[in-house]
Each structure stands twice: as structure tokens, then as C-alpha cells.
Structure 1
Amino acid sequence: MSEGFEGALYVVATPIGNLEDLSPRATRVLGEVDWIAAEDTRHSARLLRPLGIDKPLVSLHEHNEQMRVETLRQALDTGKNVALISDAGTPLISDPGYVVVRELRASGHRVIPVPGACALITALSAAGLATNRFLFEGFLPAKGGPRRQRLMEGREREETLVYYESPHRIQATLQDIAALFGTRRVVLARELTKTFETFLDADAETLGRRMQEDPNQARGEFVIMVAGAAPPDDETHALAEGEAWLAAMLAEGVGVKAAATVVAGRLGGRKKYWYQCAQALKDGDG
């Protein structure tokens, strides 16, 4: 290998659509390694053939990943270099590879990332939603109940929420988002870097209607991005925090007057107000 490492695992990002997004470094590494571990060997062969890369391919997917650990460990022990690729994008990001990387690192082998395309980052970079903080949830559960539960867990989060979704579930997922998030802004990215790349920007109910009117918009793989919840205003936040403090102290046996004094000193406000809140909580009226 021209990078000077032997017996290493290279985690190589591949294009998510546009083949020109494969980096020169990724192309070189794929051409120099001894083996390539691929999620779908037939799919990867179609990617590698136009590049003139003909390397032994070994399958590595969610159903055989644990079994492949020892095979790859032995290959690296004998000085072979192996590249890990997924069907599209960066391996391990909602794709197999975590178990292999964890076990090989634990046994002292070098794991080298070769960065490139990732649908998550590609979508966020062009969505116009806040990216200073975001929560990536990967694929949502297929069944409605668990899916709604997962969505509910993110409803009060202030970060931008990011989900992956498949075409045959996109309508049901948008219906769930509409029911739980109301008119919250949603940006839907589909067919990223491909000919029909599209960004749709509206609330979930409106996006669902657009897909009903134009079924072509329901094709492809999707990245769903939901604007984070608005932060509570200062007064509401202070009230909630104060009541939480009062409840905790009352539960520990602290008197109403003493609890009110502590909260007033901590959060400000009149001690009489906090005393009334504490008394209401103690009486079971809060």
C-alpha cells in the first residue's frame, strides 16, 4: 500500500448516487488493498468494474457480520489490507460494519477511515435547517406503534432531527410526523446526488399531499429532517425548574418556607410567590 500500512482495515466511503463523488484516494485504496468486504458483492462489482478494479470480494452484511470478524482478523494478521464498503455512502452509518470495526480495534489492528459521501451530511448541508446540533436516528421502526414511539421521544428535542426512510413507508411516516409535530417545518431530501435529486420543504401534512398529487415524489431513498422544538421562554422555563426544585425538596422533608427560600435565592423572584407554589404542591393542588 502506498500509504505505508500493512494489515489494516480501510473504511471507505462510496458514492450515494453520483459516481464522480468517489474520491481519488478512495479509488486508489480500493485498487491497492488485497480484499474488499462489501455489503452486496454484486452491487459493489458493478461499482468497481468501470474503475478497472478487480479484487477478491467477501460479503459482509447484517446477517453474517459476526461470522466475518475472525476471517478478517486472520487476513490482517497475515499482512493483508482489507477495504470495507457499503452499498452506498459511509460504512457503519445505518449500515453494517460496527461489529467488525469494534472487534478489530480491540485486537490491536489499525482501522483507517477514507471519508466521502454520506447521505446524512449531504442532506443537512443543503436543507437550510440548523446544523450546529442535530440528532440522527437512522431508520425508523417499520411498524406504526414503535415508529410513533420513536418519533415521540424526539418531539421536545431542540436539535434538528434526522431520519432515513424507504419509499414504501414514507407516506405512513409523514402521517405520523404530522400527527405528532403539527406544522413543524420538515425538509425531505430524496435521490441525493442523482438526476432527480429533490428537496421538499413544508410541514409533514403538506408534503404528504404533494406525494399523493405527484407519486414520482415518493420514489427513491429519503432523508427526513425535522426542525427542532422551539426553546421554552425564560419565564416558563424558570417556573418549571422552580417547581421541580420545590417538589424534590418537599419530597425530602424540607419545609415549605425553607424550600421557597432556597428557590428564590437560586432563581430569583419573590419568596412569597415560591412559598405559594410550594404550599400548593404540598397540598396536592400544583
Structure 2
Amino acid sequence: MRNPESGVLYVVSTPIGNLEDITLRALRILKEVDLIAAEGVSHSRKLCQKHGIKTKLISYNQHNQRRRGAELIRRLKSGLDVALVTNAGTPGVSDPGALLINQAVEEGIQVSPIPGPSAVISALSVSGLRAERFLFLGFLSHSSSKRKKELKNLIAEQRTMVFFEAPHRLKSMLMDLKDILGDRQVVLLREMTKIFEEIKRGLASDVLKQLELDSIKGEITLVVAGGEKKMDEGFIDRETQRMIKRLLKENNISVKDMATRISEEKGLPYRRLYKKCLDMKKEMETKQVS
């Protein structure tokens, strides 16, 4: 139940690059509130200076959100209005915000969205891929092995997928994506709405070739086509097939042990792997005979 004496927590979307990409309502709210809780104070100060906003800024980010959150809740309960902003786009979407919003809700404080820019929606809008249903996954794991497991869970996903990625991991992400999900259509967007905005399109392998000579910098959003149809239950990704082929060539392990080993390493069903190992072994033997 709402506390009528409390202020309002406004969740305000701000530009993802171009400082002119902000709504009239967002500008009004940022001028009228008592306090702006910003992920990066220096970053948000540039936006405020651009638009003549003189409201006090304080930091609220993943490093201080528990301590600062309690302070913001006290101020809201005292009747002050607070605007929550992130460095780019909408708070709570791959950025700090959810914790404070939940705290406000528990205290009966009104939470109001002020919609606007979103890297996810902006990327989808120019991707040319089906976007009536999509899956946003943010940043996958920094660890290569964990990222591969996360991608394996998406093998049967038919919806268009949107990822964020760091420049220094982009090539390895695309290679893993191609090996595990197959060489499907991707759209890579770099520095959206900024001076050096760039969009690359094509199969994952084509985009990788385009990146070979490029020095990758800036913020990356990756839109990936969903699978055309549900994968067959016997589907084994290309990376695992290469592993089976290598082990078969080494010829120092039984098919049973091979399937057990790969099942433990990859987390894939033993029976499916055993059948695939047998099929690939027969195929290799047939080629050797012919």
C-alpha cells in the first residue's frame, strides 16, 4: 500500500549516446525532482549541463547500492522526489536499479517509469530480424567455458536474441556462437547514436572476417537470429563434434569411455553422445575403406 507522505522514485531513461535523445518529460522530471541518483555522477553531469538541469546529483551504483539505497529510501520516505538514472538507457536493464526499486516498493513508495532510450530496442529496430518476440540476455559470462555452456542452453531457442559484449571479448564470443549455435545471421552494432556509429551484418563467419583487421572499441550490442526450427533431440553442436572426431583419430579410447568423458565435460546426455560417437566412427571407417 502506498505511503501518501512519501516522495516518488522516478526511473528515468537517458540517452545511450547522443545527448539529444531524451524526452521532454524526462527533462522536466530531472529538473523538478529533489535529487538525482546516478550510476556515474560525472557522466550524468554532462547531460545535466547540456540541458540546463541544476538538480543535485549523488552516486548510486553496484559498489555502493546497499549503503546508498538505505539513504535514498530515508529521503523518499521524508517526502523528497528522487530520479534514478544510469549511464545510458534504462535503469534496471543490465544496470543498477532493481534493488532500490524493490526497496521502494516494500516501503510503499510510488515508483514511476519515465520511458525513453534503450540499446536493446534500438538495436532490434534496425536489425531487420524478427522482433515480435525476442530474448535479451545482457552480458554472458566472462569465462570462456561458462559462456559456452550458456550458449549451449540456447541451441533450441527460436526467438531473436540480444546480447551486450565487451570489445575485447567480441571475437571469441562470435566464434563460440558460430561453433555452438551454427553460422547464423547476426547484426553487430557499435557506438549506437554516437559519431562513430557502425553496423555490421551477415553470417557470424562473415562478421568475424570483417573484424579481422578492425580495432574494436566502444559499446557493443549483438542481435542474433533465432533458430529456424526446434533442434532435433539428437543434435550435437559443432565444437563437440570436432572433439569426437579428434578422439576418434587418436584411437586410444573406447566409444563408451569417449561418450562418458564428453558427457562429464560438456554436460550433455550420455546416450545422445554415445550414438553420435558410433555414427561418426562408422562414417570415418566408411571413408577409409572407400
TM-score, scaled relative to structure 2:
0.76
3-state SS of 2:153 partner: helix
Match in the other structure for 2:54: 54
Match in the other structure for 2:225: 227
3-state SS of 1:136 partner: strand
C-alpha distance in 1 between matches for 2:230 and 2:167: 35
Runs of 4+ in 1 over 6 A off after TM superposition: none
Q: CA shift at 1:19, angstroms?
A: 1.2
3-state SS of 1:37 partner: strand
Match in the other structure for 2:18: 18
Match in the other structure for 1:99: 99
Q: CA shift at 1:232, angstroms?
A: 4.1
Deviates more, 1:101-110 or 1:203-212: 203-212
C-alpha distance in 2 between matches for 1:83 and 1:131: 30
Q: Deviations over 1:137-166 (max 9, x none)?
A: 111111101111111111211111111011
Match in the other structure for 1:214: 214
C-alpha distance in 2 between matches for 1:93 and 1:107: 22
1:46 corresponds to which letter in structure 2?
Answer: K
C-alpha distance in 2 between matches for 1:146 and 1:62: 23
Pairing 1:37-76 to 2, within 5 Å after superposition: 37-76=37-76
Quick one: structure 1 residues 232 and 38, their matched pair in 2 at CA, closer, same or farther if it must change by over 3 Å? Answer: closer
Q: Deviations over 1:12-50 (max 9, x none)?
A: 000001111111111111011100000011111122112
CA RMSD between the two structures? 2.1
Q: Retained in 2: the 8 A contact 1:11–1:112?
A: yes
Deviates more, 1:193-202 or 1:151-160: 193-202
Match in the other structure for 1:30: 30
Q: Retained in 1: the 8 A contact 2:19–2:50?
A: no
Match in the other structure for 1:140: 140
Deviates more, 1:27-36 or 1:218-227: 218-227
Identity, in percent, stands at: 41
2:94 corresponds to which letter in structure 1?
Answer: S
2:175 corresponds to which letter in structure 1?
Answer: Q
Match in the other structure for 1:129: 129
2:10 corresponds to which letter in structure 1?
Answer: Y
Task: Mark the runs of 5 or more structure 2 residues left unpaired by the alignment.
Answer: 234-290
Q: CA shift at 1:59, angstroms?
A: 0.9
Q: Retained in 2: the 8 A contact 1:182–1:203?
A: no
Q: Retained in 2: the 8 A contact 1:164–1:224?
A: yes
TM-score, scaled relative to structure 1:
0.77
Pairing 1:77-96 to 2, within 5 Å after superposition: 77-96=77-96
Task: Mark the runs of 5 or more structure 1 residues left unpaired by the alignment.
Answer: 238-286
2:60 corresponds to which letter in structure 1?
Answer: L
C-alpha distance in 1 between matches for 2:202 and 2:148: 20
Match in the other structure for 1:184: 184
